[in-house]
Chains A and B, each alone.
Chain A
């Protein structure tokens, strides 16, 4: 397909996406037609190791990793910018300077991780 254009390429992806949805709908419809449907109160109870559930499932939990989440958001947004840069950094006229820029970037990331490490963020429990 040498003459595939931008829009036609993505429309093929779109067709496949629709096919995927169709497959799931078809499979679940077949499941509905083939399987029994006899809901009882006990069957629809939330599973909690065989005893009656206590309280709600949407409970408060201690999210210990929220600092990891901050780190992730910062670094992931940064690293997305690497993709366009990666395709041109070795092109004529870019080489030396862009490589130096990469080391600045890696330096920022490394200092960030080192700082988090020193602050004890990368250990699971506060000691």
Chain B
């Protein structure tokens, strides 16, 4: 392969990843509008774009772009302005290592893919911390400290349950993990999958783990002082985070592109179906569960999720070696 075709291929992969990053979070957002509305006996957006309000989030984006960017006088200006980028860009980077189909249907096959994805997702949590501290606002500070506490509690079970899959596959490359995958991994890694998905929800500060942005207590947590497009970037980061979490859970615990029929041809479709099913669960939980209190949240992580993750590690090790 000449270097020109190599560059064309790389360019195409990057463009596809970037388009996915721009479009899929909006689809999940629209799905959230609609699913929540119907679960609560409402219609949700119906006007924008004509057909069932499909363009609502596009209209929201246009609105956000026209709003004044206010930086409070007391804020630490540069950190305040940079925080949305720190929250958003890691999820873009995580997408490139996640395979959506068999063979070469992955942005780039890193040897350390799983580790890379978890590492950049850890960086994304710095966004709300920077935002909360630099805002010089009491609500923001409380929200940021709650984010920090939540990250510390849930990063560990997430790492441990991800390691369990790496042990089963004997590799850290995400396409490699799917190459080694068999259907019986679903029951075998079930506990790990539960731990990973729950911990991921907590890292994204999604309900029922949305204490850092609890609107009835601390306005909007670390994002209280944000307006206009920077606020929109934080929202985009949240939905991009949902996409990355659901894709990772699909790849690690639900077999990714493997499916009952035609998975060599339609692998990407199986990935999409599983990912959107998980995204629906994320939305469903938001509608149906009350918010956990700070102490309940810590207790749940340290006394339920971490022991379960350790159990999954032991189970994986024993089954693999025997």
Which A residues fall within an 8 A CB radius of B?
Answer: 1-4, 6, 9-10, 12-13, 15-17, 19-21, 23-24, 27-28, 30-32, 34-39, 41, 43-49, 53, 56-59, 61, 63-65, 68-69, 71-72, 75-76, 79-80, 82-83, 86-91, 95-96, 99, 102-103, 106, 109-110, 113, 116-117, 122-125
Contact = CB atoms under 8 A, between A and B. Distances in A.
A71 B133 CA distance: 23
A125 B66 CA distance: 46
A9 B70 contact: no
Interface in B1-23: 1, 6, 9-10, 13-14, 17-18
Contacts of B160: 79, 82
Nearest to A78: B156
Contacts of B107: 12, 16
B313 to A, nearest CB: 6
Nearest to B294: A124
Given A24-B89, A57-B140, A69-B152, A44 B166 contact: no
A90 B167 contact: yes
Contacts of B84: 24
Contacts of A15: 10, 14
26 contacts: A2-B104, A12-B13, A12-B107, A15-B10, A16-B14, A16-B96, A16-B107, A20-B88, A28-B230, A31-B67, A35-B69, A46-B73, A46-B75, A57-B141, A58-B133, A58-B141, A59-B138, A61-B141, A76-B155, A79-B163, A83-B163, A83-B172, A91-B170, A99-B318, A102-B314, A123-B299
Interface of B: 1, 6, 9-10, 13-14, 17-18, 64-75, 84-85, 88-89, 92-93, 96, 104, 107-111, 114-116, 133, 135-142, 145, 149, 152-153, 155-156, 159-160, 163, 166-167, 170-172, 219, 224-225, 228-230, 233, 294-295, 298-299, 302-303, 306-307, 310, 313-314, 317-318, 320-321
Contacts of B170: 86-88, 90-91
A10 B119 CA distance: 14
A28 B6 CA distance: 32
Given A9-B110, A31-B229, A86-B163, A20 B317 contact: no
A65 B294 CA distance: 10
A24 to B, nearest CB: 4
Contacts of A113: 302, 306-307
Contacts, number: 214
A38 B140 CA distance: 24
Contact of B138 (A4, A20, A48, A87): A48
Given A16-B93, A44-B73, A68-B149, 7 more contacts: A21-B89, A31-B64, A46-B136, A58-B136, A103-B314, A110-B307, A124-B298
A61 B142 CA distance: 8
Contact of A68 (B93, B138, B167, B302): B302
B193 to A, nearest CB: 17
A38 B68 CA distance: 8
Given A65-B152, A79-B163, A102-B317, A1 B108 contact: yes
> Which 6 residue pairs of A and B lie closest in terms of their CB atoms, listed nearest first?
A124-B295, A57-B136, A31-B229, A72-B152, A20-B89, A44-B73
A68 B78 CA distance: 30
A27 B65 contact: yes
A47 B18 contact: no
Nearest to B176: A87
B1 A3 contact: yes
Contact of A12 (B14, B133, B310): B14
B177 to A, nearest CB: 11
A116 B306 CA distance: 13
